[in-house]
Chains A and B, each alone.
Chain A
Amino acid sequence: KQEVTQIPAALSVPEGENLVLNCSFTDSAIYNLQWFRQDPGKGLTSLLLIQSSQREQTSGRLNASLDKSSGRSTLYIAASQPGDSATYLCAATGTASKLTFGTGTRLQVTL
């Protein structure tokens, strides 16, 4: 059974800092790994999807990496802004496109 864990559970950083969010999964037999953003009371916004054959994906200030063999993914956010404050979720995709979500990292970027 796939289990996904995210560390840290919460993070507060001053504006402008670079930061890394961590995601680990127990079953390396995944099709891809997705990173989502969830704002309070809102739905999920897909940020990046890394296929199992890929090592990383980039979108603007975001860079996600994937190491299947070690069961780890990281989301790197460069030059953080207050608008980046949200909960970040990673999800591993298994058989029949079943997403197993992590526990989330709540990020606060302060002025």
Chain B
Amino acid sequence: DTAVSQTPKYLVTQMGNDKSIKCEQNLGHDTMYWYKQDSKKFLKIMFSYNNKELIINETVPNRFSPKSPDKAHLNLHINSLELGDSAVYFCASSQGTQGTYEQYFGPGTRLTVT
């Protein structure tokens, strides 16, 4: 059983397009996250949601908009894609927002903007 799943796994698109990445977790967690891993393999948090409410919003361009229809899903929509958006995006979830909980990661979505 997949705990945290993401679709698509690969996404190739042109500059200026709008795209979405979907994330679902079946762990019963109420907190979900989006992370970005750049070309140098450095991982950085972008957003976190708890029970559909935005908790963390790092300095991410407004072109990125997370949407949480329910606590099992956290989708990432990106407008007007730029070359610099090319990266691997990871979704994660945890049982709560308290820092003591372990985070579980999805397999990642490799986004390539041409």
Contact = CB atoms under 8 A, between A and B. Distances in A.
Interface stretch (B12-20, B42-50, B62-70, B79-87): B42-50
Interface in A77-111: 87, 89, 91, 93-101, 103-104
Q: Which of A30, A32, A42, A96 has the most CB of B within 10 A?
A: A96
Contacts of B27: none
A43 interface: yes
A103 B43 CA distance: 8
B98 A97 contact: yes
B41 A87 contact: yes
Contacts of B98: 31, 97
Contacts, number: 64
B103 A97 contact: yes
A109 B3 CA distance: 29
B100 A51 contact: yes
A11 B106 CA distance: 26
Nearest to B91: A43
Contacts of A32: 99-100
Contacts of A36: 105
Interface of A: 30-32, 34, 36, 41-46, 49, 51, 87, 89, 91, 93-101, 103-104
Interface of B: 31, 33, 35, 41-45, 48, 55-56, 90, 94, 96-108, 110
